[in-house]
Amino acid sequence: MFGFLVSKCASNLNHGDNLSIRVRRRLLVCEKLPQRPRSSELGWQRSAARARGPPLRRLAATAGTPSHCKRVAVLVSGTGRSLENLLQQVKSGALERTQIVVVVASRTDCLAVERAAQWQVPTAVVVARAYADSDAFSDAISVVLDSYQVDLVVMAGFMHFYRIPTRYLNRVLNIHPALVPAFCGRGFYGDRVHQAVLDFGAKITGVTVHFADNEYDHGPIVLQRAVPVLDDDTVATLGARVFAEECRLLPEAIDLFCRDALVLDGRRVRIRHRQPV
């Protein structure tokens, strides 16, 4: 499996590019390096040969997934608070049909990587800045997702555009800290959303979980929950209440997907039955 991922990552490079591959404990880091002289064009092969740590086939651990569980990947870029919440929900049994099989981070220095390590969840870091464009970056992510045979991809604080291939359409969930289609789109993330809500004078904001497509905050809405805006709210106080609702709504949406309870009808998502987490 390790050789498979190395070769697939290399296939995304242009001629003359080099690939740095490092395996540290349960962390696989895959990134392109600056172009080197022609005599080193095969440097990525030497890097692969020198990579230390367990082979990727041990990280994937596909045999350990119960038959009733969906295999879930979580994409992260920041502190990993949402990831921590999901892992706790899985451990408690609230997400009994969910197994988080890999965390994919866009930075090596994000706290989410450390959280995943504490929970002993396999982690792959696909360094966003190492790729020339979002297509190449997205292809590298898809290689990791394919290698773990995931059923569902969850964007939890993922700060980059992931161009979703056809095989993953309607299998990627995103969470947004507002009521889509308000206060959403490119550039609206994190505290920027809450500041925009306050600046506009909105009385209600909330949380949206939706299927991601290849536009920002655009795909079919799965669940929404309103959060009132108080007269004395600041970005920090409003953000805290919105995040508390995120911690309830995202697991609920994941559970519905893993129970095959979501039915798409155009842009409408119908729920066969509800069992709140």
**For the segment 259-276, what is each residue's pLDDT rounded down to a tens digit?**
999 999 999 999 997 655
**% of the chain at pLDDT higher than 70:** 75
Q: Is residue 15 part of a domain?
A: no
103, containing H or E segment: strand 98-105
Say whether pLDDT at 178 is over 60.
Answer: yes
- State the helix-helix crossing angle for 111-118 and 81-92, rounded to 10 degrees: 20
pLDDT, tens digit (0-9, with 9 covering 90-100), for 94-109: 999 999 999 999 999 9
E strands, 166-267, where?
A: 172-176, 204-211, 221-228, 262-265
Q: What is the pLDDT of residue 275?
A: 59
Q: Give the separation between CA 140 and CA 144, rounded to whole angstroms.
A: 7
* Number of domains composing the chain: 1
Q: What are phi and psi of 39, to 5 degrees?
A: -65, -15
Q: Give the separation between CA 83 and CA 246, rounded to whole angstroms.
A: 11
Q: Is residue 38 part of a domain?
A: no
Which range of residues forms the domain containing residue 184? 169-277
Q: Give the separation between CA 152 and CA 168, rounded to whole angstroms.
A: 8
Confidence of residue 186 (pLDDT cuts 50, 70, 90): confident
Residue 176 annotated among the catalytic residues of the structure:
yes
CA 157, 144, 104 angle in degrees (round to 5)?
A: 20
Q: What is the pLDDT of residue 217?
A: 80
Q: Which of 68, 160, 176, 210 is catalytic?
A: 176
Mean pLDDT to the nearest integer, 127-136: 93
Side chain identity at residue 52, one-letter code: R
Q: What is the pLDDT of residue 99?
A: 98
> Which of 202, 145, 190, 180 lies closest to 269 in space, CA to CA?
180
Range list of H helices, 71-147:
81-92, 111-118, 134-147
pLDDT, tens digit (0-9, with 9 covering 90-100), for 3-52: 334 334 434 444 334 344 444 444 565 544 333 333 222 222 222 222 22
Mean per-residue pLDDT of the chain: 81
Q: Is residue 161 part of a domain?
A: no
Q: Is residue 47 part of a domain?
A: no
Q: What is the pLDDT of residue 103?
A: 98
Q: What is the pLDDT of residue 187?
A: 82
Tokens linked to 74? 């979580």
64: Cα separation from own chain's centroid: 21
- State the helix-helix crossing angle for 235-258 and 191-200, rounded to 10 degrees: 120
Q: Is residue 86 part of a domain?
A: no
Compute the half-sphere exposure of residue 42: CA atoms within 13 Å on the CB side of its CA: 4
Say whether pLDDT at 81 is over 60.
Answer: yes
Q: What is the CATH number of the domain that holds 181?
A: 3.40.50.170
Q: Is residue 72 part of a domain?
A: no
Is residue 80 within 8 A of residue 116, CB to CB? The reply is: yes
The pTM of the whole model exceeds 0.75? yes
Q: What is the pLDDT of residue 139?
A: 97
Mean pLDDT to the nearest integer, 233-253: 98
> Which of 1, 114, 119, 125 lies closest to 54 in space, CA to CA?
1
Tokens linked to 108? 């090596």
Q: What is the pLDDT of residue 218?
A: 86
Q: What is the pLDDT of residue 273?
A: 73
Q: Give the separation between CA 267 and CA 221, rounded to whole angstroms.
A: 8
Q: What is the pLDDT of residue 40?
A: 28
Tell how strand 221-228 and strand 262-265 pair up.
unpaired
